[in-house]
């Protein structure tokens, strides 16, 4: 269990955040140490990401009345947050002369890196906080 400390959470102290993907197998080869280095995402970066995830669109109902439908574009949100915050990658080899390496990066690698980045910058709720959250049916 994590030790409980009464101290402030430091925000904005990191200048780079390294995310190392778990080993990746491709064409029967195992690649380890694939690293994505990000600048810390700002609140605006995260807000843009979550807005893309939960967009509302207005559609025309059967009688011509407007209807709202929630939708989201997960892949566009991932790609945009990745492109906004990534500074470099390590242990990848791109074609010689490739100027836009971000466009060449596999979308699945962007997804894995962004999910790990968001876990790292946001932290986790402690088990007791999750248990006591509104709407949780578990009792302490």
- Cβ(109)–Cβ(21) below 8 Å: yes
Beta bridge partner(s), residue 29: 26
Domain segments of the chain: what residues? 17-125
Contacts of 95 (CB under 8 A, 6+ apart): 104
In this structure, is the dihedral angle defined by the CA atoms of residues 61, 73, 46 and 103, taken in order, positive or negative? negative
pLDDT tens, per residue, the chain with 140 residues: 566 666 665 666 668 999 999 999 988 999 999 999 999 998 899 899 988 888 777 778 888 888 877 777 889 999 999 999 999 999 999 999 888 999 999 999 999 999 999 988 876 555 555 555 555 554 44
pTM of the model as a whole: 0.71
Identify the pLDDT of residue 65.
83
Helical (H) or strand (E) element with 138? none
Rounded distance between C-alpha atoms, residue 79 and residue 56, angstroms: 20
């Amino acid at each position: 269990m994590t030790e409980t400390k009464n101290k402030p959470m430091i925000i904005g102290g990191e200048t780079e955040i390294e995310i190392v993907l778990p080993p990746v197998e491709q064409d029967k080869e195992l690649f380890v140490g694939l690293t994505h280095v990000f600048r810390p995402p700002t609140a605006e970066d995260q807000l843009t990401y979550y807005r893309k995830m939960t967009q509302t669109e207005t559609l025309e109902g059967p009688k011509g009345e407007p209807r709202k439908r929630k939708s989201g574009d997960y892949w566009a949100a991932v790609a945009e947050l990745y492109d906004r915050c990534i500074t470099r990658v390590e242990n990848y080899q791109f074609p010689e002369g490739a100027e836009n390496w971000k466009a060449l990066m596999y979308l699945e690698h962007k997804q894995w890196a962004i999910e790990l980045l968001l876990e790292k910058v946001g932290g986790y709720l402690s088990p007791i906080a999750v248990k006591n959250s509104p709407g949780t049916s578990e009792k302490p």
